[in-house]
Amino acid sequence: MAIQWFPGHMTRAKRQIQEKLKLIDIAIELLDARVPISSRNPMVDEILLGKPRLIILNKSDLADPRMNEQWKQYFEHEGHTCAIVDSNTGTGVQSISTLAKEILKEKIDKQIAKGMRPRAIRSLIVGIPNVGKSTLINRLAGRSVAITGDKPGVTKGQQWIKAGADFELLDTPGILWPKFEDQMVGYRLAITGAIREQILNLDDIGYYAMKMLCQRYWTTLAERYELSEPPADCEDNMEIVRIMEEVGRKRGCLMSGGRVDLEKASSIILRDLRAGKLGRITLEAPYDDMPVREVE
Ligand code: GDP
């Protein structure tokens, strides 16, 4: 999805979400488990105005399982409840309403103490484009039919979707923007396919992906492309280019004169990475940003 985020769009997106906050008990903040920080909106705390929140590491099936746990702990350490989810297959999705109930327990208990029958928990999914909001909404909705929004305060055209007996969500998610001022964020989102490659230079995205693969997933990389010698120094551009050229040669990406077509090599690497051919990969580490050692 290509959204051009200009300041006006951001203001509108923020306002739209804040309008919906009035209707809900809890916000569900969706992050891409492979890039939990880069897929996070830089103003999310400010936008959600202290609303109770559940953080979801989505696309966890594509991310490194050990890193999923580390990231979960990281967000818990920050005081959030966090769930590891794969919206495509539904793994982890069933825990969402239970966790929401736990987060809102105090409020629910108070209602019960007052003799009120607690109504269904109402929620809103928020996240940057392509993080899996619609997929998760469909998963949560399951076979249940959307119920029409004839409740007070529901914006025209919006509906509550029932997800189980006591959990509802708005059918239109809140769309947030990523933090594009940071070029690294751009590369990481481009690697995962969240933003279109055309915005950045394909060679550069490929180079950046290769650097991270060399740093953290050398064994898988070497196996896939039958590479022999790891880079002596991952910070050395020439070493990374050497590996890219090796991959290019192995895959027949040659130009006239025998030079390696780095753009083609980049395409192959990115395609393999996104298709999971290089295994489950996480591009960001919580405490030690991209440590220069391979994850065992
Ligand atoms: P939205 O823009 O946030 O609504 O994102 P979508 O729901 O359209 O999802 C974007 C892409 O990510 C689609 O191709 C989905 O199939 C895919 N996707 C969403 N969730 C998952 C997930 O948990 N695992 C995997 N592997 N793919 C997912």
> Which atom of ligand 1 is least distant from the CA of 175?
3
Residue whose CA lies nearest to ligand 1 atom number 12: 132
DSSP state of 253: -
DSSP state of 176: -
- Domains of the chain: which residue ranges? 7-175, 201-274
Q: What's the average model confidence in pLDDT over 229-242? A: 95
Q: What's the average model confidence in pLDDT over 218-235? A: 95
Is the CB of 87 inside a 6 Å radius of any atom of ligand 1? yes
Apex 203 CA angle, 198 and 207, nearest 5: 125
What separation in Å is there between the alpha carbon of 196 and the centre of ligand 1? 15
Interhelix angle 262-274/183-192, rounded to 10 degrees, is 70
What separation in Å is there between the alpha carbon of 58 and the centre of ligand 1? 8
Reported CATH class of domain 201-274 = mainly alpha
Residue of 41, 56, 87, 125 best suited for mutating to test ligand 1, as the one with most atoms within 8 Å of CB:
87
In this predicted structure, what is the pLDDT of residue 143? 62
Contacts 24+ apart (CB under 8 A), 21-25: 21/48, 21/49, 21/51, 21/124, 22/153, 23/122, 23/124, 23/153, 23/154, 23/170, 24/51, 24/122, 24/123, 24/124, 24/170, 25/52, 25/100, 25/104, 25/107, 25/121, 25/122, 25/123
> Which atom of ligand 1 is least distant from the CA of 276?
26
Q: For residues 114 and 117, give the distance between their C-alpha atoms in angstroms, rounded to a whole number.
A: 9
Q: For residues 287 and 13, give the distance between their C-alpha atoms in angstroms, rounded to a whole number.
A: 30
Is the CB of 59 inside a 6 Å radius of any atom of ligand 1? yes
What separation in Å is there between the alpha carbon of 106 and the centre of ligand 1? 33
Q: What is the pLDDT of residues 22-80, one digit of tens each?
A: 999 999 999 999 999 999 999 999 999 999 999 999 999 999 999 999 999 999 999 99
Average pLDDT of the chain is 90
Q: What is the pTM of this model?
A: 0.91
Residue of 31, 64, 95, 130 best suited for mutating to test ligand 1, as the one with most atoms within 8 Å of CB:
130
Distance (Å) of CA 266 to CA 35, 36, 208, 248: 20, 23, 10, 8
Q: What is the pLDDT of residues 111-163, one digit of tens each?
A: 999 999 888 999 999 999 999 999 999 999 986 544 544 454 555 667 899 99
Q: Are the C-beta atoms of residues 188 and 264 closer than 8 Å to each other? A: no
Is the CB of 86 inside a 6 Å radius of any atom of ligand 1? yes
Residue whose CA lies nearest to ligand 1 atom number 9: 132
Q: How many residues does the chain have?
A: 296
* Residue type, position 199, single letter: I
What string of DSSP letters covers 11-33? HHHHHHHHHHHTT-SEEEEEEET
Can you name the CATH fold of 7-175? Rossmann fold (3.40.50)
Residue 40, classed as helix, strand or coil, is coil
Q: For residues 73 and 106, give the distance between their C-alpha atoms in angstroms, rounded to a whole number.
A: 23
Binding positions for GTP are 58-61, 130-135, 174
Closest CA to 136 of 205, 88, 84: 88
Alpha helices in 172-279 (DSSP H): 183-192, 202-216, 218-225, 237-250, 262-274
Report the greatest alpha carbon distance in the chain.
Answer: 82
In this predicted structure, what is the pLDDT of residue 294? 47
> Which atom of ligand 1 is least distant from the CA of 1?
2
Is the CB of 2 inside a 6 Å radius of any atom of ligand 1? no
Is the CB of 158 inside a 6 Å radius of any atom of ligand 1? no
